[in-house]
């Protein structure tokens, strides 16, 4: 199977979010817990069990307990705008279904801006191979593309990304390329 290079379309670099970063979407009916996926200079991607409307404004409560190398980030409130929403099709047969939500921050507090800033040195510590197309498959009449990239310095260095007609729908990390390919095969079996 031939592998093809795929170029990155993002304007800015993104890094995996720190594991101890906690985010809540503040709403009148109560806070909605969110799992941070990745961060960039201008925003973040969070995973939610509820869908948010694209272009809607959201209030976030961000907190983290960082190491001595990073500034301590206490609970900070900020606002943002929902830039995109993608329902994850990650092998779940039953609800709750998950959504990856891209949020562009609007005037974040200086400490949060410093915390989210993607530094070239941080990106350089996570070198990897460019994402490669594993396979393009038609599932239920839609074109699915599986991409695989390897990142060094991560406990699960193989990153599988699946796109439906160019829109991301699944992302998972694996200990080996074989495990990532097995996950892609399982995804295809469920999608047929």
Architecture of domain 15-120 in CATH? Beta Barrel (2.40)
Q: What 3-state DSSP class applies to 123?
A: helix
Which pLDDT belongs to residue 56? 93
Q: Per-residue pLDDT tens for 100-112? A: 899 998 988 777 7
User: 8, 36, 31: which is closest to 21 by C-alpha?
Assistant: 36
The half-sphere exposure of 32 on its side-chain side, counting CA atoms within 13 A, is: 20
* pLDDT averaged per 10 residues, the chain (length 192): 36 53 85 82 84 91 58 73 84 75 86 62 50 82 85 87 80 91 90 72
pTM, two decimals, is 0.54
Structure tokens at 189: 């079996």
User: 13, 148, 167: which is closest to 86 by C-alpha?
Assistant: 167
Query: Could you give the residue ranges of the DSSP H alpha helices within 10-98?
Result: none
Residue ranges covered by each domain of the chain: 15-120, 127-191
Which pLDDT belongs to residue 57? 93
Find out whether 73 and 64 touch, Cβ atoms under 8 Å: yes
Find out whether 24 and 34 touch, Cβ atoms under 8 Å: yes
Find out whether 99 and 52 touch, Cβ atoms under 8 Å: yes
138 contacts: CB under 8 Å, gap ≥ 6: 144
Which pLDDT belongs to residue 175? 92
30 contacts: CB under 8 Å, gap ≥ 6: none
Length of the chain: 192
Which pLDDT belongs to residue 59? 93
What separation, in Å, do the N-terminal and C-terminal C-alpha atoms of the chain show? 21
């Amino acid at each position: 199977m031939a592998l093809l290079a795929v170029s990155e379309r993002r304007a800015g670099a993104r890094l995996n979010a720190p594991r101890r970063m906690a985010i809540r979407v503040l709403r009148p009916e109560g806070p909605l817990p969110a799992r941070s996926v990745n961060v960039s200079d201008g925003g973040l991607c969070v995973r939610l069990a509820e869908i948010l409307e694209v272009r809607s404004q959201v209030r976030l409560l961000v907190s983290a307990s960082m190491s001595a190398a990073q500034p301590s980030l206490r609970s900070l409130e900020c606002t943002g705008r929902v830039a995109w929403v993608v329902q994850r099709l990650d092998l779940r047969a039953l609800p709750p279904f998950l959504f990856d939500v891209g949020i562009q921050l609007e005037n974040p507090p200086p400490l949060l801006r410093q915390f989210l800033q993607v530094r070239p040195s941080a990106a350089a510590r996570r070198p990897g191979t460019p994402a490669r197309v594993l396979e393009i498959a038609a599932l239920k009449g839609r074109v699915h593309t599986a991409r695989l990239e390897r990142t060094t310095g991560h406990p699960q260095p193989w990153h599988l990304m699946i796109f439906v007609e160019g829109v991301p729908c699944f992302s998972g990390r694996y200990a080996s390329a074989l495990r990532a390919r097995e996950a892609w095969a399982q995804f295809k079996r469920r999608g047929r």
